[in-house]
Amino acid sequence: MREKRTRMKIALDAGQSFIGNPELCGDLLPRQCPSLPPKKSKGISNYQVLMFSGYFIIGLTIFLVIILLLCKRGKTKEERANLLNKEASFDDSFYKPSFTSGEYKAGLSKSGISAATESGMVSSSLIVLTSPEVNGLKFDDLLKAPAELLGRGKHGTVYKVIGEQGMTLAVKRIKDWTIPSNDFKQRMRRLDQVKHPNVLPPVAFYCSKQEKLLVYEYQENGSLFRLLQGTQMGQVFDWSSRLSVAATITNALAFMHQELREDGIAHGNLKSSNILLNKNMEPCVSEYGLMMVDNDDQSSLSNFGANSAFKADIYGIGVILLELLTGKVGQNNGLDLAEWVLSVVREEWTGEVFDKSLIREGAREEGLVYLLQIAVKCVNTSSPEARPSMNQLARVINTIKEEEERSIAVSIVSEP
């Protein structure tokens, strides 16, 4: 009891000692202290966690989408490059030998066996056309000659063959053409009757139920396809030369169309790789009539019957004209190039279409635009019937060429 009193006395004495300090507060003082505010949590709230998680997911999604788009774009470029390389490996087949091929001899041996069964003698299986250069050529000569694989393509394989007399030939083995043998022979003989100096004719052919062979004179100066590729690496292919090529091949095709229209024989596979350059560097149309028209990418032609093959040739020459104007090589049967040119023209950026080297050399804009307008009409896929005929096309291009020559002559005369 005494101890409790002592504690109380001490507490009262302590309280008395704080008198005169009105701001002080506590249990022993008249002024009570206010209650302390609750301590703020230093952690992250659930709302903040959800918000940051949402931002992370959105950012990750955008990143993945960008990666996928880049991968797809890279794959598309790789596919196009592969397509171009595949086309190039076959398209320069008439002048780019690669290696000696036992496959060629094996294939011809089989052909000779089947031919011998059909005709009774191997030497008569090869039909030589009216070409004095290969007079007396026999199937056995091709079988014994050294051969080099030049390229493979959608329609067959091409070999370079060197004959005993030193003559170099190109032999094409055709695949997947179901034309009857008699029709094929009649077709080859008809083509042999229609000759033009700028159309490369077959000099001989072989035909059996198993396969078909075409023999051509080998052209060592390559193709228009390769020449256009060379312009991308700095080689010179000026405007007047390009116009001359365009005029020459359209004149040749106009002649062939006129002579063979009733027979229904068009080129059927017209592209820059089938425009070869002879020893004088003049363009020659090769493989004329060797294939039926391929309508896989021109389904709108199916309603034109026999005329569809000639309309397809106009499309093919249109793509070649676009290649001459742009310096670019058409892919996917020229559809990619045609669509790109049409999109640029629609945006009224026509000047962006032309090969920069033509602009630098000072080619007349009027001639470039005029030829471009004609080429666009040729690649019209929405209304194939609106495409010009090969005769009309040849006349227009000859007119452009003559105007360019007059312009050059005037500029030379006017020079001091």
Q: Which residues are annotated as a binding site for ATP?
A: 172
Residue 114 CA to its chain's centroid (Å): 38
| Tokens (6 digits) for 69 | 């788009």
DSSP 251-304: HHHHHHHHHHTTTT---SS--GGGEEE-TTS-EEE-STTSS----TT-GGGGGG
Instruction: Kindly give, in sequence order, each residue whose CB lies less than 8 Å from that of residue 183, ignoring residues fewer than 6 positions away.
Output: none
Tokens in use for 407?
């312009």
For 209-223, give one letter per residue: b (16+ CB within 10 A) or e: eebbbbbbbbbebbb
Q: Are 184 and 234 in contact (CB under 8 A)?
A: no
Whole-angstrom Cα distance, residue 215 to residue 142? 10
Residues 92 and 151: their CA atoms lie apart, in Å, by 8
DSSP letter for each residue of 184-204: HHHHHHHHHHS--TTB---SE
* DSSP per-residue string spanning 346-408: HTT-GGGTS-HHHHHHT--HHHHHHHHHHHHHHT-SS-GGGSPPHHHHHHHHHHHHHHHHHHH
* Identity at 89, one-letter amino acid code: S
The answer to whether 201 and 215 are in contact (CB under 8 A) is no
The SS3 assignment for 1 reads coil
Q: Helix or strand or coil: residue 316?
A: helix
Q: Residue 159, SS3?
A: strand
φ, ψ (nearest 5 deg) of residue 286: -110, 160
SS3 362: coil
Report the C-alpha gap between 270 and 309 in whole angstroms: 10
Separation CA 272–CA 329 (nearest Å)? 8
Angle at the Cα of 230 from the Cα atoms of 227 and 231, rounded to 5 degrees:
95
